[in-house]
Structure 1
Amino acid sequence: MNSNPAVQQVSKVVLITGGAKRVGAAITRELHRQGANIMLHYHTSASEALALQAELNAERPDSVVIQQGDLLETAGLPVLVEKTLQEFGRLDALINNASSYYPTELGSIRIEQWEDLMGSNLKAPLFLSQAAADALQASEGCIVNITDMHIERPKKNYIVYSAAKAGLVSLTKSLAQELAPRVRVNAVAPGPVLWPDDNQEFDEVYRQQVINQTLLKRTGEPSDIAKAVKFLIYDAPFVTGHVLAVDGGRHLSI
């Protein structure tokens, strides 16, 4: 490691789950532009993770490291923190972004669906935050959880997902209390930004209905979520326990 303080100076060291594609990749790129070094977790998106790592390391060598892991395997979560500390020597921000999302209709919900949706959206953020707590205390860092605008008005047939994301909001506020005053904990609640890749429910009629219910009369961009995360990490030193809606005002009209 270079001993020159000017060379060692890094804006932040960030661990992000599910950071290889979609909104996660937008967050990764935005924070990298701020000068952050990134530990990028992925589960099955190996090709996307490798491509994003190559892209960003071409801009700034050795600034992005990737780590595969199944977040449902709770015992392996501390490894993500340990790898980050081994690679970069510190941890300034944890972003719990990875998520499973699909409908679960009451009357046919299976325990496997419960474990998957609760595991990725609530259990993993809790235990990963617990594993990262000491490192974040040492750096006076922060946690940003990615929840959902439907936490106040659950979407029909998404009962388990909605319960998990509502739990993530409660977890955000609880962690803000538990980790104060040295660690800030906030959440971003996205609205219509990216449609799911493989869900036939979201046809053109449904999409137009969503846009009509959104005060700004359009969908957002992944960069909107990324900029909100950047704000909470870099520009909000007196904000904790807060859920920032980034939904074009849709939560006011549904």
Structure 2
Amino acid sequence: MDTPLQDKVVLITGGAKRVGAAICRMLHAGGARLMIHYRTSTGEARALQSELNLRRPQSAAIIQGDLLNVAILSSLVQETIAHFGRLDVLINNASSYYPTELGEIGEAEWEDLMGSNLKAPLLLSQAAAVELRKQHGCIVNITDMHVERPKKGYVVYSIAKAGLVALTKSLALELAPDVRVNAVAPGPVLWPEDNPQFDEVYRQRVVSQTLLKRLGEPEDVARAVRFLTRDAPFVTGQVLAVDGGRSLSL
């Protein structure tokens, strides 16, 4: 996309809170119209929709769905097009994240982590491909800085996010020259909610390993997504790390 975001239509998964909400606010501020997907965060989704529509009427809609239910994935794309008349950008942001210790990994963990982090992005991208080709749009996947240096105890999550990097590059090949496909790989930006593993000692160690000696903000990730959607017409098949340099010190 070598044009501004004005009136472009964005479908973002997991957009109701945290990093997803920051991406929504930043793209919306640039003129985009948003279809915000959520699974269980109904209150947050409705509040964000109201906030954005107050700024610009009828510019944001919400859609609920479980991405593990592959039967609904194409309908997310279809309903976005039906509501706004087009689709220009797909952002695969939704993600499950939790540890899976070797020896305790079962099919449920595999299906959940692979489903949200890899299967859903693939099938959503496939469902959106025709419309994105028509609009010369783009896809941005949210992966993880740990794909090249897996985090101990997170076997399935690491596999899934590494697969998402491979999917990014594969789709860039498959959808060229009409659709650009890139990824953002965040580092320490927001701590996971309600996970005792990320105590104060762990957090201080992570910050000390980050070259910029601080945590990132959700807006740092959002700026990278905005760059790839709005300001990078000659960039495809790339992964942009937003990790404060931490990946260099692992």
Of residues 137, 142, 146, the one that matches 2:142 is: 146
The 5-angstrom pairing of residues 9-158 of structure 1 reads 10-158=6-154
* Residue number in structure 2 paired with 1:250: 246
Distance 1:33 1:88 in 2: 18
Q: 1:228–1:246: 8 Å Cα contact kept in structure 2? A: yes
Query: Per-residue displacement from partner, 1:132-156 (whole Å, max 9, x unpaired)?
Result: 0000000000000000000010000
Q: 1:118–1:160: 8 Å Cα contact kept in structure 2? A: yes
Query: Per-residue displacement from partner, 1:134-180 (whole Å, max 9, x unpaired)?
Result: 00000000000000000010000000000000000000000000000
Query: Per-residue displacement from partner, 1:48-96 (whole Å, max 9, x unpaired)?
Result: 0000000100000000010000100111101111111111111110000
- TM-score scaled by length of structure 1: 0.96
Distance 1:179 1:23 in 2: 27
**1:67 alignment partner, SS class:** strand
Distance 2:172 2:69 in 1: 25
Distance 1:186 1:10 in 2: 21
Q: 1:84–1:91: 8 Å Cα contact kept in structure 2? A: yes
Identify unmatched segments of 5+ residues in structure 1: 1-8
Q: 1:11–1:34: 8 Å Cα contact kept in structure 2? A: no
Number of matched pairs: 246
Q: 2:141–2:182: 8 Å Cα contact kept in structure 1? A: yes
| Residue identity opposite 1:186 in structure 2 | N
Range 175-184 or range 71-80, more displaced:
71-80
- TM-score scaled by length of structure 2: 0.97
* Residue number in structure 1 paired with 2:202: 206
1:10: Cα distance to partner?
Answer: 3.8
RMSD: 0.8
Q: 2:10–2:90: 8 Å Cα contact kept in structure 1? A: yes
Query: Per-residue displacement from partner, 1:23-54 (whole Å, max 9, x unpaired)?
Result: 00000000000000000000000000000000
**2:114 alignment partner, SS class:** helix
Greater relative contact order, per chain length (Cα 8 Å cut-off, separation 6+): 2
Sequence identity (%): 73
Identify unmatched segments of 5+ residues in structure 2: none
**1:144 alignment partner, SS class:** strand
1:12: Cα distance to partner?
Answer: 1.2
**1:20 alignment partner, SS class:** coil
1:198: Cα distance to partner?
Answer: 1.1
1:110: Cα distance to partner?
Answer: 1.3
Structure 1 runs (4+) greater than 6 angstroms displaced: none
Distance 1:11 1:83 in 2: 17
| Residue identity opposite 1:52 in structure 2 | L
Distance 2:169 2:39 in 1: 27
Q: 2:145–2:243: 8 Å Cα contact kept in structure 1? A: yes
Distance 1:11 1:201 in 2: 42
Distance 2:94 2:10 in 1: 14
Query: Per-residue displacement from partner, 1:206-238 (whole Å, max 9, x unpaired)?
Result: 001101110000000000000000000000000
**1:218 alignment partner, SS class:** coil
